C-alpha cells in the first residue's frame, strides 16, 4: 500500500492527494460497514484518481491508444476518461490486476449499469468523502452508512442534477446507470 501511495503522490497535486487519502479512508469505513473487502476498498480509493491530473490532450491520446474512447462526449470532455484510463494505468504501472479494483477505478466518474459492490462503494465514497462540500452531502453520508443501494441512486441524482444545473454534457453511460438502478429500486 505504501508503494501505491508513493506512486500516486508523484502524480497528483497536494489538494488532489488530500482528496484521494480522504476517499481511501471513507471507502475503507464504508467497506467495513457493508461487508466489502476493506483492503480492496482502500487500494481503489487511494488510486481512483491515478490519471486525474494528466492534461486533456494527453488523456485523450493515451485513452485512444488503449481503445478506451467509446463516445463523442469523451472527445469533448476528455477528463471523463480519467477513470477508465486510470484503471488501465494502475495495471501497466503498478501491476494491479484485481478486477474489482480495476472496475472501481474505471467507473468512479461515470458509473454503469450492474456495477460491482466495490465500484458502487468507490463511486459513493468519491462524492461524500471529507472535503466534499455541497448542500446534500451530510444527508448522503448518512444514507451511505445505512443503505448502499439507496446512496448510489442518490449520488447519481446529485451528479446528473449538477450537470443539468450547470448545462454540462451528461455521458450516456451515466444515464444508462441511472435507468438501471431506478428500475431495480
Using CB under 5 A as the criterion, which residues of the chain lie in contact with Fe ion when the complex forms?
49
Q: How far is the CB of 108 from Fe ion (least distance, A)?
A: 5
Q: How far is the CB of 31 from Fe ion (least distance, A)?
A: 18
The three-point CA angle 103-157-143 to 5° equals: 80
> 137: which 3 cell numbers?
452531502
**Closer by beta carbon to Fe ion, 49 or else 74:** 49
**Closer by beta carbon to Fe ion, 29 or else 49:** 49
Q: How far is the CB of 183 from Fe ion (least distance, A)?
A: 27
Cα torsion angle, 168, 171, 172, 174, sign: negative
Cα torsion angle, 136, 118, 172, 147, sign: negative
**Closer by beta carbon to Fe ion, 11 or else 185:** 11
- CB proximity list for 64: less than 8 A, separation 6 or greater: none
Amino acid at each position: 500500500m505504501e508503494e501505491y501511495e508513493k506512486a500516486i503522490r508523484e502524480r497528483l497535486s497536494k489538494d488532489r492527494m488530500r482528496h484521494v487519502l480522504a476517499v481511501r479512508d471513507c471507502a475503507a469505513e464504508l467497506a467495513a460497514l457493508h461487508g466489502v473487502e476493506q483492503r480492496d476498498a482502500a487500494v481503489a480509493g487511494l488510486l481512483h484518481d491515478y490519471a486525474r491530473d494528466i492534461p486533456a490532450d494527453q488523456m485523450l491520446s493515451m485513452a485512444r491508444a488503449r481503445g478506451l474512447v467509446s463516445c463523442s462526449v469523451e472527445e469533448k470532455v476528455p477528463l471523463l476518461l480519467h477513470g477508465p484510463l486510470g484503471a488501465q494505468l494502475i495495471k501497466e504501472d503498478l501491476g494491479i490486476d484485481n478486477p474489482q479494483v480495476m472496475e472501481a477505478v474505471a467507473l468512479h466518474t461515470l458509473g454503469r449499469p450492474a456495477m460491482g459492490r466495490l465500484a458502487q462503494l468507490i463511486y459513493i465514497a468519491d462524492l461524500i468523502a471529507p472535503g466534499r462540500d455541497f448542500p446534500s452531502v451530510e444527508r448522503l453520508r448518512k444514507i451511505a452508512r445505512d443503505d448502499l443501494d439507496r446512496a448510489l441512486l442518490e449520488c447519481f441524482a446529485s451528479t446528473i442534477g449538477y450537470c443539468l444545473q450547470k448545462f454540462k454534457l451528461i455521458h450516456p453511460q451515466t444515464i444508462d446507470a441511472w435507468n438501471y438502478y431506478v428500475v431495480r429500486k
